Amino acid sequence: MTNLYPKNFLNQVIIRIDFSNPIEELRSEIPKKLNTKALKFFPILEPRDAYLGHLSLEITAKDSEDVPQFEKKKMKDWIYFGKDREKELHINVDALFIVYTKYESYKQLHDDFIAISEPLFSEFETFGIKRIGLRYINIISLSEANPTNWKKYLNKNLLCTFNLCDNQKIISRAFHVLELKIEDIQ
């Protein structure tokens, strides 16, 4: 990949699918086809026990004690790593996501994601998707007089957020969100 900037500030890239309902079959085992495909792109498997928790509180009469109820269910978090641990894949009952700590290209992200999601979709044809997310995380630490002057580091079209604030010295965090509406779907 040809880097367009003198320094790549990407700290992480994350692509994630949240399932609309838990895929209970993934709680204790992973389908063979999915495991085989995951190991091809992420050859180190380190499954871990995880717990999914739910807290509920019922408000009752003034004289009674309101005690929060906490319910937790054990599950496996199927964690696969790239050969140099430069990327990791998580598959569990609620989500599938890939985290890159050494991001090479969008093509690699796309190829990994499609290769892993295809056997998931074929194995569990009826599950729904609640959310799909793609996040690029930049950490830019500059020791300059004006720490929000990033013109020499980033494309000017990415810097419009800074123009929304009159006093740029008080900015502690800046990020963009792009939401789409297609017909009646937000």
Please give the chain's pLDDT, 186 residues, in tens. Answer: 455 556 667 889 999 999 999 998 998 899 999 999 999 999 999 999 888 765 555 666 666 666 666 667 788 999 999 999 999 999 999 999 999 999 888 899 999 999 999 999 999 878 889 999 999 888 767 777 777 777 777 787 878 888 788 888 888 877 777 777 888 877
Sole residue written with tokens 């929304």: 164
Rounding to the nearest 10 degrees, give the CA dihedral for residues 177, 178, 181, 182.
Answer: -150
Half-sphere exposure of residue 141: CA atoms within 13 angstroms, side-chain side:
1
